[in-house]
Amino acid sequence: MKTRKKRRLSLTSKKAIAGYCFITPFLLGLLFFFLYPLMQSIVFSFNRLEVSSDGYQLIQVGLENYHRAFFVHPNFRRILVESITQMLTDVPLIIIFSFFAANLLNQKFRGRALARGIFFLPVILTSGIIIAMENSDLMINMMRSSFQQEAQSGTAGEMLRSLELRNLLYQTRIDPRFINYITGAIDRIYQIVIASGVQILIFLAGLQSIPPSLFEASNIEGATGWENFWKITFPMVSPLILVCTVYTIIDSFTKPTNRVMTMIRDVAFQQTNYGFSAALAWIYFVLILVILGIVIGIISKRVFYHE
């Protein structure tokens, strides 16, 4: 009996083997197309790479590439700082907007299916090449600015101008920096809306997963909608705020319109300076990790978990 037990695998180890079988493709991919290239790119960043028809050669240059990125290159530092500040201003707006939109789409009204379809359209239609084209496109920018001009100077604009939000807010003596932030958000509403498709999906899924019994109980106790929102909806969805923030940060760092990204590409393929490009990419990657770490650290302390 004892020998038989030894020969046969126990259930747990059987399961473990089956599990490994399922994830084998990923392990292979991880090794060949992720970890190995990652290691290589570290090596490249300390070298100068020369490609010839029968392979490539590495010439050791030490820290020169990194030194060049920080102290020699004319605008790497500026672009880096700009793209990070851009990200930091955009992320809260995107999170707030997508949470708001998810709440809106979660209510019952006529044409909800259509509205949802349109709200998720940016996920499909504004990725990759299309958004890159759109950003540099003459006609769309022209149309948009003429549209804005019309809104400001037309007859409707005349009436609205006295009510213009910015002037109104300036008179309330709130900190002007805050006012500029809010009104700036309204000016960039399109960028914010199209960046929040996936986040709306995530929040909407979260809103649907709140057990209705919680609302029933609180309604019987006599809570108002406002109280329900802050005491039930918000805490229950708060873990997703973390998920969405992380997603938004990664998305804004890796989207093709990001200027650091385009710079890394150009250095690699137009100036064919692979080593320098790898060094830039690594600086950028480490910065992303640091920022993500800080943000996750701050938010995860305040998140409420139901279980």
Partner 1 sequence: MKTLISNVHYKLFKSDKMRLFWHKNFILAKWSARGWALVRAVLVIGISFIILYPLIVKFSVSIMDERDLYDITVKYIPKHFTIENYKTAWQFMNYPKAFWNSFSLSMLASVMQLISCTLIAYGFARFNFPLKNLIFGLVIVTLVVPPQTIMIPLFLHFRFFDVFGIIKAITGQKGINLLDSYWPFVLMSLTGSGMKNGLYIYILRQFFRGMPRELEEAAYVDGSSTLRTFATIMLPSAVPMMVTVFLFSFVWQWNDSFYSSLFLQKLLVLPMALSALAQNINQYYYWEYGQMTNMSPAYASMMNNTGSIMLVVPLFLIYLFAQRYFVESIERSGIVG
Q: Does 294 bind partner 1 (CB under 8 A)?
A: no
Question: Which residues, in sequence order, are CB contacts of 270 under 8 Å at separation 6+?
Answer: none
Q: Does 89 bind partner 1 (CB under 8 A)?
A: no
**What residues numbered 192-221 form the site for partner 1, per CB under 8 A?**
193-194, 201-202, 204-206, 208-209
Q: Does 253 bind partner 1 (CB under 8 A)?
A: yes
> Would you say the C-alpha torsion 167, 168, 173, 177 has a positive or negative sign?
negative
Question: In angstroms, rounded to a whole number, what is the distance separating the alpha carbons of residues 120 and 298?
Answer: 29
**What residues numbered 167-196 form the site for partner 1, per CB under 8 A?**
189-190, 193-194
49 in helix, strand or coil?
strand
In the list 15, 67, 166, 231, the residue contacting partner 1 (rule: CB under 8 A) is 15
Q: What angle do CA 84, 85, 86 make, to 5 degrees?
A: 90
Which residues face 185 on adjacent strands? none
Q: What angle do CA 246, 239, 19 make, to 5 degrees?
A: 80
Can you state the angle between helices 274-302 and 36-45, rounded to 10 degrees?
120
**Cβ of residue 302: shortest distance to partner 1, in angstroms?**
18
In the list 18, 59, 159, 163, the residue contacting partner 1 (rule: CB under 8 A) is 18
Stretch 31-70: interaction string toward partner 1, x if CB under 8 A: -xxx-xxx-xx--x----x-x--xxx--------------
Q: Does 153 bind partner 1 (CB under 8 A)?
A: no
Cβ contact 242:303 at 8 Å: yes
In the list 289, 290, 294, 298, the residue contacting partner 1 (rule: CB under 8 A) is 289
Nearer to partner 1, 136 or 213 (CB): 136
Cβ contact 191:97 at 8 Å: no
**CA distances (Å), 26 to each of 4, 21, 62, 251, in order?**
34, 10, 34, 23
**Cβ of residue 75: shortest distance to partner 1, in angstroms?**
18
Cβ contact 208:112 at 8 Å: no
Q: Which stretch binds partner 1 (CB under 8 A): 77-85, 154-162, 172-180, 288-296?
A: 288-296
Q: Which stretch binds partner 1 (CB under 8 A): 62-70, 177-185, 277-285, 297-305?
A: 277-285
In the list 109, 270, 301, 302, the residue contacting partner 1 (rule: CB under 8 A) is 109
Q: Count residues contacting partner 1 (CB under 8 A)? A: 95
**Cβ of residue 286: shortest distance to partner 1, in angstroms?**
10
